[in-house]
């Protein structure tokens, strides 16, 4: 069941693009940051992170892409969403060679809307886990100027280790924009996380060079929680102090810098 209190302080609206409608939750004021939740859905710890971004002077937009908004994380809930819902939906591409997911086009349209509503130099975009690479693919939308990939887990499988779920054209666009507009990309993960192999971050570093800021945390830095080794940098395995809290602070400062607040 959904936890109504988790999103009680948020306005909600339906956003439709290209015939697809989803619910979006919004809070705060200032330039916009779109936060895309991890599996199994828009759970309370994702909302907690969004609360802190909003408190730092930004408008957060939380699209509900799958799962029940506000529902707490359990292993059965996560497995059910992964294998009975997400992997069979045509909106999501999970394997190597498929490029970005079709849902990214809807997210780009949401970024345009958020920028029009909130102003500023552009929009921040943060993806987590299953949605991690979406923030990079969104760079073909000119409004997106601050992409953050937290534990980007796609594509799945051995063939996709040294890649990210973005098409060659999307990667080329991001690379060009990073140079032309003096932008950059932030990536976070735990060392030893099988869902975010070393090869993936090596690929990002090779592709984007110094424009890619790599924040790789030691496994022992993560808080105990669902899964071993730790996976969810900004939510489930976030500690109240130490390297994970520093990593969270860096994402907030990154958004503030790129969105003209620093």
The model's pLDDT over 116-151, given as tens digits with 9 standing for 90+, comes to: 999 999 999 999 999 999 999 999 999 999 999 999
pTM over 0.85: yes
CATH number at residue 9: 3.40.50.1820
Domains of the chain: total: 1
Q: Give the domain extent around 87.
A: 4-258
List the beta bridge partners of residue 111.
none
Strand 59-63 to 32-36 pairing: parallel
Residue 86 has what pLDDT? 60
Higher pLDDT, 235 or 227: 235
Strands (E), 28-68: 32-36, 59-63
Mean pLDDT for the stretch of residues 49-72: 95
CA distance 247 to 234: 8
Residue 95 has what pLDDT? 53
CA distance 121 to 183: 12
Strand, helix or coil at 30? coil
């Amino acid at each position: 069941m959904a936890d109504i209190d988790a999103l009680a302080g948020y306005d909600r609206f339906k956003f439709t693009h290209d015939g697809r409608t989803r619910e979006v939750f919004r809070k705060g004021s200032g330039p916009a940051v779109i936060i895309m939740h991890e599996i199994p859905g828009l759970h309370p710890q994702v909302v907690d992170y969004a609360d802190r971004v909003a408190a730092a002077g930004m408008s957060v937009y939380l699209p509900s892409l799958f799962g029940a908004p506000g529902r707490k994380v359990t292993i059965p809930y996560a497995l059910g969403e992964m294998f009975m819902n997400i992997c069979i939906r045509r909106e999501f591409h999970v394997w190597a060679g498929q490029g970005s997911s079709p849902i990214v086009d809807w997210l780009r349209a949401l970024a345009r809307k958020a920028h029009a509503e909130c102003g500023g130099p552009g929009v921040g975009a943060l993806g987590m886990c299953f949605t991690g690479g979406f923030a990079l693919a969104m760079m073909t939308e000119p409004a997106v100027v601050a992409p953050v990939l937290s534990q980007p887990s796609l594509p799945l499988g051995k063939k996709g280790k040294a890649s990210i779920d973005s098409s060659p054209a999307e990667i080329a666009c991001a690379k060009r924009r990073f140079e032309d507009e003096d932008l950059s990309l932030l990536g976070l993960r735990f060392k030893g996380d099988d869902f975010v192999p070393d090869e993936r971050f090596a690929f990002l570093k090779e592709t984007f060079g110094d424009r890619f800021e790599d924040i790789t945390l030691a496994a022992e830095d993560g808080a105990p929680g669902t899964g071993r080794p730790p996976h969810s940098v900004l939510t489930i395995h976030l500690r109240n102090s130490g390297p994970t809290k520093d990593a969270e602070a860096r994402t907030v400062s990154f958004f503030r810098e790129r969105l003209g607040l620093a």
